[in-house]
A and B are shown apart, each in its own frame.
Chain A
Amino acid sequence: MPSRKEQQRGDDDDPLRARVRAIADKRGARSVAVAYHDYETKTGWSYRGDEWFHAASTIKVPVLLGVFRAIEDGRLSLLARVHVRNRFISAAGDRSAFRVAASRDANAEVQKNIGRTMRVQELAHHMIVTSSNLATNLLIEIVGVDAIVDTLSRLKLDSGVTFRRGVEDDAAHEAGINNLCTADGMLAVLRVIEERKAFSEASSEQMLEILHAQEFRSGIPARLPDGVRVANKTGEISTVAHDAGIVYVPDRKPYALVVLTEWDAEKTSGRSDTIARISRAVFDHLTGSAG
């Protein structure tokens, strides 16, 4: 940890860093990490970009990469049907089973289809757009944890994203088996999608289309001006709140932004607004809109 004096010196050199720190401190965040890559100015920046956090639901974006890798390899298709079954084997290694409680899932649509089938494209949509935990675990089961890990490895994303299991796997969590990410790592995931290099143009467009349909907009998009579009994925559990997105500003190239935050468990209000304020600070910094 840098000393207070070193931090102050860093803040003096970097106004954005100072602003991010000020927002985080005022809101009482325990820890904040931010990273962006701007395609307009071809610059990148991060604040505590290599600090590891529990990834929460932002891990669903790397899972999306795994799904589309399986599709591009011909092992899966968007139209393939998947049995919606709410029973999963824990990654804890004890072969115990777990379910995603309906009360712990923001989306009722997938739960409603238990016993039936849904198409891969529907599950991918719900995994991102409504952050369905059940859809996520079904896709992980079909694609395979190892295949997703391999996808991240082949894309050289594993230095900043650690994928190990499905969501709501309490036994694995108790055993210390978690999905983790850094701000720099999640930023690299977004860049893979936006830059359309690792996947076909069609797959990249489809992933972006899903991210654009996001229904949770209280983080990165919330304080941005009208006309700015954001393709994003949020993540929140008891002690973390994150957002990762690509921001499309009219008349300039987009920028990718990741904001990871950690909180005391009892501090439940103001998390999304903290992310929104940091997002606005980055927007002002990049577009010269700072007042």
Chain B
Amino acid sequence: MHQLGDLEVVDGLKLPARERQVLRPGELVRGRDGFTRRLPRWFYRVPSWEVALEVSLAPHFKLWEFLDVDVREHELLRVHGPRYVPLAVTLLAAALEAFRREVNTYVHISANGGYRSPAHGLSGHASVHCWGVAANLYRVGDDLLDDVKNISRYSDLAREVFPAFQVLPFGSGVGETDDHLHLDVGYAVVTPHGMGDEEADKNAGPLPGGGAEARRGRKGGA
């Protein structure tokens, strides 16, 4: 039985070019809100779907639930494997577990509702899903989250047990949902113990956008 600790933690900047083009580790991207943020750099490498089915992130959440994507995901992550997921997915799982205990029934994450790579067809605006810290829930127990009553009820419950949860309000406009409940914990990234961005930068070269060099105060282009 595979466990989370069995998964290799990888530096996205050291992945082969094909993977880097899909995951875009450490790249600055602009969100729909106009702010730029750096995409996650550290990932769990998931060697197969079978492993994802076995690994628990929390007592009631398996890794596969955060990786279940459809044909809109890049085929490298969907067909050929291995798959990658940002380390911060564990934070989301912990928060969802608290929610799960409160509702005391099954919490279902929808397909395309967990981690989506920047190459996913639904990642057009640097979605928080690209950080692995967002979940779209379509059902809690027997309740489908497709109306204002259920979406509002469960979003209130989620914020009660985990006040840092960001939820999207009910509605059909941009930044609203009407057929699922969107929960996220903000644009969190996790850097693993024994590794650091600065040290790794020396080996791997500056981050796209010149982040490390800029912080050292070196002169360069704007």
Contacts and interface: CB of A to CB of B under 8 A. Distances in A.
B182 to A, nearest CB: 13
A96 B180 CA distance: 17
B172 A96 contact: yes
A253 interface: no
Contacts of B68: 116-117
A87 B108 contact: no
A142 B70 CA distance: 10
B138 interface: yes
B172 A115 contact: no
Contacts of A108: none
Interface in A24-81: 76, 80-81
Question: How extensive is the interface on chain A, given as a class?
Answer: 10 to 19
Contacts of A86: 146, 179
Interface residues of B, number: 18
B205 to A, nearest CB: 35
Contact of B70 (A80, A87, A114): A80
Contacts of A87: 178-179
A92 to B, nearest CB: 14
A117 B70 contact: yes
A87 B112 CA distance: 14
Contact of B111 (A76, A97, A117): A117
A122 to B, nearest CB: 13
A82 B70 contact: yes
Nearest to A75: B71
Nearest to B173: A95
Contacts of A85: 110, 179
B111 A84 contact: yes
Contacts of A84: 111
A120 interface: yes
Nearest to B137: A115
Contact of A83 (B112, B172, B178): B112
B139 interface: yes
Contact of A115 (B69, B72, B138, B178): B138
B87 to A, nearest CB: 25
Contact of A81 (B110, B111, B113, B146): B111
Interface in A76-114: 76, 80-87, 96-97, 99, 114
A83 B179 contact: no
Given A86-B179, A87-B178, A115 B108 contact: yes
A123 B71 CA distance: 13
B70 A115 contact: no
Given A83-B70, A114-B144, A97 B178 contact: yes
Given A83-B110, A114-B138, A97 B172 contact: yes
Nearest to A116: B111
Candidate in B71, B72, B178, B180 with the most chain A CB atoms within 10 angstroms: B71
Interface in B81-111: 108, 110-111
A97 B70 CA distance: 21
Contacts of B180: 115
Contacts of A76: 71
Interface string B156-193: 00000000000000001000001110000000000000
A66 B179 CA distance: 28
B99 to A, nearest CB: 17
Contacts of A99: 179
7 contacts: A87-B179, A97-B178, A99-B179, A114-B138, A115-B111, A116-B68, A116-B110
Give the 4 A-B residue pairs with the shortest CB-CB distance, closest first: A115-B138, A83-B111, A80-B71, A83-B70
